[in-house]
């Protein structure tokens, strides 16, 4: 079965999309075409979108799913008249909360993903800059300021995880690649000197060799770097190092960046400077 879902907002649409995707992910037997429609902040935009929803219902032979966080009542009324199954997040959750808290919601557009306080905003900026400055072992003299140092073989997901930790939680994450340059005379991977004083901050990433080879092949096709033998050897050495030094690590093969980050935080107890937005 195929259906269409619209995530609609008069702001960024992030809240509607996040909640909508979480809900619809529970229906794995339904093929759902998901479309995000942000900044529906005028009657004209709402009317145009309602026409699109109506046309989609005719095309699919099924009414689309509508998940919205529209604040303006007039715009909500226009969307409500479209040929869709409507999940009104604000009406569903805010009205019971208003009764429980004995006060009225502000019904303000963009409150969840606004900049917020200056301190939180600057923490976010500083953390992202730190992740960029300390990416891929580029600088090691700032590791005393790092909250965590991600280690792993090349292309296992260290950079996107570092940036996500910075952007979503304000965690200052550096990352360092484990390479053949770190092999000792016996061919065993040793801890790089730059990391030795910061062993307590290390967190390792590993990945399935087939997946790593595919990723590397996009960057350097048909090279030793992307060969299965090379990938297997590097991963085995990295995992042996983690076990030998009791470095916590996670297999990133089947996890999204969001899952890797939250699992890491849960396992290490890293302190968030702010909540994700």
Q: Which residues of 97-182 form beta strands (DSSP E)?
A: 148-152, 173-177
Instruction: Please tell me the distance from the alpha carbon of residue 173 to that of residue 153, in angstroms, as a whole number.
Output: 16
Nearest-angstrom CA–CA distance, 4 and 57: 8
Q: Is 116 left (phi over 0), alpha (psi -120 to 50) or beta?
A: left
Is 83 annotated as belonging to a binding site? no
Q: Contact, 194 vs 143, CB < 8 A?
A: yes
Asked if residue 139 belongs to a known ligand binding site, the reply is: no
Does the annotation flag 91 for ligand binding? Answer: no
**153 belongs to an annotated ligand binding site:** yes
Give burial (CB, 10 Å; 0-12/13-18/19+) of 52.
middle
* 36 labelled binding-site residue: no
6 neighbors 37 (Cβ within 8 angstroms): yes
Annotated binding residue 116: no
**Is 152 assigned a ligand-binding role in the annotation?**
yes
Q: Is 157 marked as a binding-site residue?
A: yes
List residues forming the annotated binding site for ADP.
152-159
List residues forming the annotated binding site.
152-159
């Amino acid at each position: 079965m195929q259906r269409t879902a619209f995530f609609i907002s008069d702001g960024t649409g992030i809240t509607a999309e996040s909640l909508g995707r979480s809900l619809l992910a529970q229906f794995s037997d339904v093929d759902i075409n998901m479309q995000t429609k942000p900044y529906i902040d005028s009657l004209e935009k709402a009317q145009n979108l309602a026409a699109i929803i109506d046309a989609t219902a005719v095309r699919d032979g099924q009414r689309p799913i509508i998940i919205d966080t529209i604040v303006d009542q007039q715009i909500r009324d226009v969307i409500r008249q479209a040929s869709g199954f409507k999940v009104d997040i604000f009406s569903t959750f805010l009205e019971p909360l208003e009764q429980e808290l004995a006060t009225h919601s502000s019904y303000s557009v963009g409150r969840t993903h606004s900049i917020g306080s200056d301190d939180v905003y600057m923490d976010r900026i500083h953390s992202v800059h730190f992740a960029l400055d300390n990416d891929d072992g580029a600088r090691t003299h700032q590791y005393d300021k790092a909250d965590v140092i991600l280690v792993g073989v090349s292309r296992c997901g260290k950079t996107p995880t570092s940036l996500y930790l910075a952007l979503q939680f304000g965690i200052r994450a550096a990352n360092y690649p484990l390479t053949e340059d770190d092999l000792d005379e016996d061919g065993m991977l040793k801890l790089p000197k730059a990391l030795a004083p910061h062993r307590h901050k290390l967190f390792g990433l590993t990945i399935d060799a087939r997946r790593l080879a595919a990723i590397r092949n996009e960057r350097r096709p048909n090279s030793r770097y992307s060969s299965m033998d090379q990938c297997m050897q590097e991963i085995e050495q990295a995992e042996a190092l983690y076990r030998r030094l009791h470095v916590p690590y996670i297999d990133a093969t089947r996890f999204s960046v969001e899952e890797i980050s939250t699992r890491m935080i849960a396992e290490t107890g890293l302190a968030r400077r702010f909540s994700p937005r």
